[in-house]
Structure 1
Amino acid sequence: MRIIGIDPGLARVGYGIIEIENERKILLDCGVIETGKDKKEEDRLYEIFQDLNELINHWKPTVAAVEKFFFYRSSTTISVVQARGVIMMVLASKKIHVSEYSPAKIKLTIAGSGKASKKDILDAVMYNLDLDKPPKPDDSADALAIALTKLNEDGFN
Structure 2
Amino acid sequence: MNATPIRVMGVDPGLTRCGLSIADGAAGRRVTPVAVGVARTPADLPLAERLLRLSNAAEEWLDRYQPDVVALERVFERGNVSTVIHTAHGVGVIMLAAARRGLDIHEYTPSEVKKAVTGNGRADKAQMTAMVTRVLGLAEPPQPADAADALALAVCHCWRAPQLARERAAADLAARAGAGR
**TM-score calculated relative to the size of structure 1:** 0.94
Q: What 5-or-longer segments of structure 2 have no aligned partner?
A: 1-5, 164-181
Matched position secondary structure for 2:36: strand
1:105 aligns with 2:112: yes
| CA-to-aligned-CA distance 1:13-51 (integer Å, 9 cap, x gap) | 101101235664221110100001221111000111111
Which residue of structure 2 aligns with residue 44 of structure 1? 50
Cα distance in structure 2, aligned partners of 1:69 and 1:20: 25
Q: Could you tell me how far 1:124 is from its partner in structure 2? A: 1.0
1:53 aligns with 2:59: yes
Moved >4 Å (runs of 4+)? none
Provide the aligned length of Structure 1 versus Structure 2. 156
Q: Could you say if the C-alpha distance between residues 62 and 81 of structure 1 is closer, same or farther in structure 2, counting changes exceeding 3 Å? A: same
Which residue of structure 1 aligns with residue 74 of structure 2? 68
Matches within 5 A, 1:27-38: 27-38=33-44
Over aligned residue pairs, what C-alpha RMSD do you find?
1.5
2:18 aligns with one of 13, 38, 47: 13
Q: Could you tell me how far 1:132 is from its partner in structure 2? A: 1.5
Q: Could you say if the C-alpha distance between residues 21 and 77 of structure 1 is closer, same or farther in structure 2, counting changes exceeding 3 Å? A: closer
Matched position secondary structure for 2:137: coil
Matched position secondary structure for 2:142: coil
Cα distance in structure 2, aligned partners of 1:21 and 1:28: 13
Q: Could you tell me how far 1:155 is from its partner in structure 2? A: 4.5
Amino acid at match of 2:59: N
Q: Which has the higher helix share?
A: 2
Cα distance in structure 1, aligned partners of 2:77 and 2:103: 25
Q: Could you tell me how far 1:152 is from its partner in structure 2? A: 1.2
Q: Which has the larger radius of gyration?
A: 2
2:31 aligns with one of 21, 25, 45: 25
| CA-to-aligned-CA distance 1:115-138 (integer Å, 9 cap, x gap) | 101111011101110112101111
Cα distance in structure 1, aligned partners of 2:114 and 2:147: 15
Which residue of structure 2 aligns with residue 137 of structure 1? 144
Amino acid at match of 1:34: R
**TM-score calculated relative to the size of structure 2:** 0.82
